[in-house]
């Protein structure tokens, strides 16, 4: 039966495994504050940008962790087993074993996260800038103080497709003003639009074309 959340998962697994799962969850989550937890393959799983590690099926007296980010194959650790091309396994039979492996598990997680970081830099880039994290957990680099998340910006652009011809600052200016359609836009004068922060003269021509295509026009002064 599929588990809706981690709480549901903990209720159905054998009682002896529950403290072991809790201990491992604490170690994994503590390795980086940006890690997110969810249910994947019907078990607790952890990710940040990419999937990293998931609890595997319970087998006899052992608890399994499946590290399935491809970079884990670069890790040399006595706690990792298997010669798969894109994953490694870690087995635990007791809380004691988990405590012994704690520091090593944190190192493994942090190594994988560092490999994920490298992927966020464009090839040939000399300065990746400062690592930033938006409210939705997207990770990105900026060499300036600009807080705009590229991933969020792409989503916002899709959601406000009617104004996708505009630059990001102009589009956000309309969104902040509550202008979400051409009909609403037609209730504004050019002068009022130019008074919006982030909206410049270069944004008027494409908007005029959009309005013309629907038989609309800017409000007279």
CB 131 within 8 A of CB 90: no
Are residues 74 and 135 both part of a single domain? Answer: no
Are residues 112 and 148 both part of a single domain? Answer: no
Structural domain that includes position 190: 131-213
Model pLDDT, residue 97: 93
Residue 1 lies in a domain: no
Are residues 12 and 109 both part of a single domain? Answer: yes
Are residues 150 and 100 both part of a single domain? Answer: no
Are residues 135 and 51 both part of a single domain? Answer: no
Q: How confident is the model at residue 50 (pLDDT cuts 50, 70, 90)?
A: confident
Q: Within the chain, where are the H helices? A: 6-12, 18-30, 95-119, 150-159, 168-177, 182-185, 190-194, 204-213
Residue 221 lies in a domain: no
> Which of 34, 2, 31, 25 minimizes the C-alpha distance to 92?
25
Are residues 60 and 108 both part of a single domain? Answer: yes
pLDDT at 23 over 90: yes
Model pLDDT, residue 26: 93
With a pLDDT cut of 90, the percent of the chain lying above it is 31
Are residues 110 and 181 both part of a single domain? Answer: no
Residue 126 lies in a domain: no
Are residues 137 and 67 both part of a single domain? Answer: no
With a pLDDT cut of 70, the percent of the chain lying above it is 81
Helices (H) then strands (E): counts for the chain: 8, 7
Residue 218 lies in a domain: no
Whole-model pTM: value is: 0.55
Residue 125 lies in a domain: no
Q: How confident is the model at residue 27 (pLDDT cuts 50, 70, 90)?
A: very high
pLDDT at 36 over 80: yes
Rg of the chain over CA atoms, in angstroms?
25
Residues 14 and 195: their CA atoms lie apart, in Å, by 64
Residue 25 lies in a domain: yes
pLDDT, one tens digit per residue, over 197-215 is 888 888 898 898 888 888 8
Residue 52 lies in a domain: yes
* The last residue of a domain, from among 90, 118, 146: 118
Are residues 97 and 162 both part of a single domain? Answer: no
Are residues 27 and 112 both part of a single domain? Answer: yes
- Report the CATH number that the domain containing residue 99 is assigned in CATH: 3.90.1150.200
**Domains: count for the chain:** 2
Are residues 161 and 57 both part of a single domain? Answer: no
Model pLDDT, residue 115: 85
Residue 66 lies in a domain: yes
What average pLDDT does the structure give for the chain? Answer: 82
Residues 219 and 191: their CA atoms lie apart, in Å, by 10
Are residues 27 and 105 both part of a single domain? Answer: yes
pLDDT, one tens digit per residue, over 116-172 is 877 765 444 445 566 677 766 776 666 556 666 776 666 555 544 678 778 878 888
Model pLDDT, residue 121: 52
């Amino acid at each position: 039966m599929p588990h809706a959340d981690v709480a549901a998962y903990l209720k159905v697994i054998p009682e002896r495994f529950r403290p072991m799962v809790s201990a491992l969850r604490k170690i994994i989550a503590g390795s980086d504050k940006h890690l997110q937890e969810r249910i994947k393959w019907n078990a607790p799983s952890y990710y940040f940008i990419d999937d990293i590690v998931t609890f595997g099926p319970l087998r006899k007296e052992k608890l399994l962790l499946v590290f399935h980010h491809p970079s884990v194959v670069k890790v040399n650790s006595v706690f990792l087993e298997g010669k798969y091309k894109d994953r490694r396994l870690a087995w635990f039979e007791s809380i004691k074993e988990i405590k012994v492996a704690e520091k090593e598990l944190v190192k493994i997680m942090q190594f994988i996260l560092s490999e994920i970081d490298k992927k966020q830099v464009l090839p040939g880039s000399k300065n990746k800038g400062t690592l930033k994290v938006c409210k939705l957990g997207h990770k990105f680099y900026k060499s300036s103080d600009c807080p705009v998340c590229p991933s969020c910006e792409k989503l916002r652009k899709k959601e406000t497709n009617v104004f996708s011809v505009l630059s990001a600052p102009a589009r956000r200016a309309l969104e902040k003003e509550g202008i979400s359609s051409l009909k609403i836009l037609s209730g504004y004068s050019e002068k009022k639009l130019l008074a919006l922060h982030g909206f410049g003269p270069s944004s008027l021509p494409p908007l005029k074309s959009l309005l013309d295509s629907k038989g609309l026009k800017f409000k007279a002064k």
